[in-house]
C-alpha cells in the first residue's frame, strides 16, 4: 500500500473516531498502565508517546516522570491531537511537546529515555517510522509496544474480535501475527506477553548500551 494512501486512510479513520476514542479505549486502561509501568520511567525522564492519540497516556506518564521530565507526543491526526492539546491544558502540564506529524516525519527535538507505542499497528509496520523514533532514543532506553494481534488459529471468537477491532483502527492487517517484529529488529530481544485470550500483546525491550 502506498504511503500517501495509507496516511490518508488513517487520517480519515481517526477523524471519525476522535470524538469517541477515549470511550472506546476505556476498557483497556489496565493494559495501558501495565505498559507504562514496563517503561521503568524515573523523575526527570523524557518519553516519546508515539501515536499519542488524544493523550490518554499523559496522566500516567506524568506520574512517573514528574514536572522535571518531558513528554513528546507524536500524532498525525489533527482531530486527535486537538483533544490531546485540550488534555494538556486541563492538566496544566508545561512539560509536554505535541508534534502534529507522522511518526516517520516528526522532528523529535530531544533524545529520550523511553518510547511508548500504544495501539499503533500502522506505525509499527513502518520501517521509516521506527528508524526515526529509535534514532532519538538514548542507549539503554526502554521501549514498549502494545496492540492487537492474531490469537491461535483455533481461537475463532478471539480472532473475530481482533478482526473487527482492526477494521476500525488499522489501515492494513499485514503483520498482525507478530506486530512487534520490525521493532524487535531495531531494539534487539523483546519480551512478549499476551492478554485477553491472546488478542492483545505487550512487547518490551531495551536499546543497546555501548558496552553491550
Residue 24, in any domain of the structure: yes
Q: State phi, psi for 59 to the nearest 5 degrees.
A: -60, -40
187 — pLDDT class (breaks 50, 70, 90): very high
Residue 164, in any domain of the structure: yes
Residue 15, in any domain of the structure: yes
Find the CATH number of the domain harbouring 13.
Answer: 3.40.50.150
The pLDDT of residue 2 = 44
Residue 107, in any domain of the structure: yes
The pLDDT of residue 15 = 66
State the Cα–Cα distance between residues 51 and 101, nearest whole angstrom: 9
The pLDDT of residue 190 = 93
Hey, CA dihedral for 30, 167, 187, 135, is it positive or negative?
negative
In the chain, the number of structural domains is 1
pTM for the whole structure:
0.91
Residue 187, in any domain of the structure: yes
1 — pLDDT class (breaks 50, 70, 90): very low
State the Cα–Cα distance between residues 118 and 145, nearest whole angstrom: 6
Question: Tell me: the pLDDT tens digits for 81-109?
Answer: 999 999 999 999 999 999 999 999 999 99
The pLDDT of residue 139 = 94
12 — pLDDT class (breaks 50, 70, 90): low
pLDDT at 20 over 80: no
The pLDDT of residue 205 = 96
Question: Tell me: the pLDDT tens digits for 155-174?
Answer: 999 999 999 988 888 888 89
Compare 144 and 22 and report the one with higher pLDDT: 144
The pLDDT of residue 174 = 92
DSSP 144: E
State the Cα–Cα distance between residues 123 and 126, nearest whole angstrom: 5
Task: Look up the domain containing 197 and give its range.
Answer: 3-206
Mean pLDDT for 60-73 is 98
Q: What percentage of the chain exceeds 70 in pLDDT? A: 89
Least confident range of 57-61, 111-115, 172-176: 172-176
State the Cα–Cα distance between residues 11 and 126, nearest whole angstrom: 16
Question: Tell me: the pLDDT tens digits for 130-144?
Answer: 999 999 999 999 999
Residue 140, in any domain of the structure: yes
Residue 211, in any domain of the structure: no
Residue 212, in any domain of the structure: no
What is the chain's mean pLDDT, rounded? Answer: 90
Mean pLDDT for 4-24 is 66
Amino acid at each position: 500500500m502506498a504511503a500517501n494512501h495509507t496516511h490518508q486512510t488513517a487520517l480519515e479513520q481517526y477523524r471519525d473516531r476522535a470524538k469517541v476514542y477515549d470511550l472506546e479505549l476505556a476498557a483497556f486502561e489496565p493494559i495501558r498502565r501495565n505498559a507504562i509501568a514496563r517503561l521503568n520511567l524515573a523523575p526527570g525522564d523524557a518519553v516519546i508517546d508515539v501515536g499519542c492519540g488524544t493523550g490518554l497516556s499523559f496522566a500516567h506518564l506524568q506520574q512517573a516522570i514528574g514536572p522535571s521530565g518531558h513528554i513528546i507526543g507524536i500524532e498525525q491526526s489533527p482531530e486527535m491531537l486537538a483533544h490531546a492539546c485540550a488534555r494538556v491544558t486541563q492538566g496544566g502540564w508545561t512539560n509536554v511537546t505535541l508534534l502534529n506529524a507522522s511518526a516517520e516525519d516528526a522532528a523529535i527535538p530531544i533524545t529520550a529515555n523511553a518510547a511508548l507505542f500504544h495501539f499503533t499497528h500502522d506505525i509499527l509496520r513502518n520501517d521509516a517510522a521506527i528508524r526515526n523514533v529509535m534514532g532519538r532514543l538514548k542507549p539503554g532506553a526502554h521501549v514498549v509496544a502494545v496492540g492487537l494481534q492474531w490469537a491461535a488459529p483455533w481461537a475463532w471468537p478471539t480472532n473475530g474480535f481482533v478482526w473487527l477491532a482492526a477494521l476500525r483502527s488499522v489501515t492494513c492487517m499485514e503483520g498482525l501475527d507478530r506486530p512487534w517484529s520490525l521493532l524487535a529488529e531495531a531494539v534487539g530481544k523483546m519480551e512478549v506477553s499476551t492478554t485477553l485470550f491472546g488478542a492483545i500483546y505487550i512487547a518490551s525491550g531495551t536499546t543497546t548500551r555501548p558496552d553491550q
